Structure 1
Amino acid sequence: MTEQRRDRSPCCAPPSGPPAQAMFPTGPEAAHAARAYVRELLTYEDEQRLDEDRLDDVLLIVSELVTNSFRYGTGPGDSVIVTVLTTAETVRVEVDDPSCLRPYLRDESGESDCGRGLHIVNALAARWDVDDRPFGKKVWAEVAR
């Protein structure tokens, strides 16, 4: 079984502003649209701005979480909600979908073309986890600034 690194640093600071949130219809273009949305959020205002390496990490996490949601957590006509919360120490990205099925880290084998998304999230995020919701789940990840 692969170890999941969910908590590598505490997040104690309150958000520096209200969360930004957008809904995306599921489909192959959802990850691209969500990345563009998050990129605009994190490069628009100086206090939100990240250095390019951190921004790339956040955008890759967004892509993986939205893609997983699209592939495994939604059906025709469903949407996913992407939420971004920032503090002085972290950027937190949340992806809500209507499925109650929890994602998990699959065993790593170099032979499969799929199943690597959460390993990427696990490698890049300071913390990540899944929160159950009454009508689905929220998968979230935090990246240190």
Structure 2
Amino acid sequence: MVDKGQGTRQLTTSLDQPRELQPRELVLPGVPQSAREARQFAREYVMRTEPTASDDYVDAIVLATSELVTNSIRHGTEPGDSLALKLHTRHGRTRVEVRDPVRRRPRLRPESHTREGGRGLVILDGLCHWGVDDAPLGKVVWAEVIAK
């Protein structure tokens, strides 16, 4: 699916894997509105690939997606850049990956009640396992959510 009205949005699948094992990727413009679309995409993807998943599991994936995409928009893109969201679910484990063109790695900052932002990674740290990998021309920030 390509929608040229909103930038470079694209859904890709790998045809050599069974449907439930296929990673999915959504390319989005690096603008604030993309976070909403990423949350919707993540919810629909998990509900399609893990139809018996609990609401808590789905919500955790949507929250992780939202935090990673929002951080990428704020700190990993510049005007005109795009980011890629990739999801892979298998047997109650979902990996959320967000690739952007900026090499600067996110860092967990001490909790603060005076700072406006900076709580996203603290939330992720309590919710799931996450990390950062280098990628050609950027980085991939990922989170793995496991059903409980």
TM-score for the superposition, normalised by structure 2: 0.82
1:111-126 to 2 correspondences below 5 Å? 111-125=114-128
Contact 2:46–2:89 (CA under 8 A) maintained in structure 1? no
Structure scoring higher RCO (CA < 8 A, sep ≥ 6) equals 1
Aligned to 1:98: 101
- The residue type equivalent to 2:139 in the other structure is K
Percent same amino acid at aligned positions?
45
Structure 2 match to 1:34: 38
Contact 1:39 1:59 in 2 (8 A): yes
TM-score computed with the length of structure 1 as normaliser = 0.84
1:1-145 matches, within 5 Å, as: 17-45=21-49, 47-125=50-128, 127-145=129-147
Number of matched pairs: 128
Unaligned stretches of 5+ residues in structure 1: 1-15
Equivalent residue, structure 1, for 2:4? none
Q: Give yes or no for contact 1:41–1:48 (8 Å, CA) kept in 2.
A: no
Q: For residue 76 of structure 2, what is the amino acid of its counterpart?
A: G
Higher strand share goes to which structure?
Answer: 2
1:48 Cα deviation from its structure 2 partner? 5.0
State the Cα RMSD in Å.
1.2
Of Structure 1 and Structure 2, the greater helix share is in: 2
Unpaired segments of 5 or more residues in structure 2? 1-19
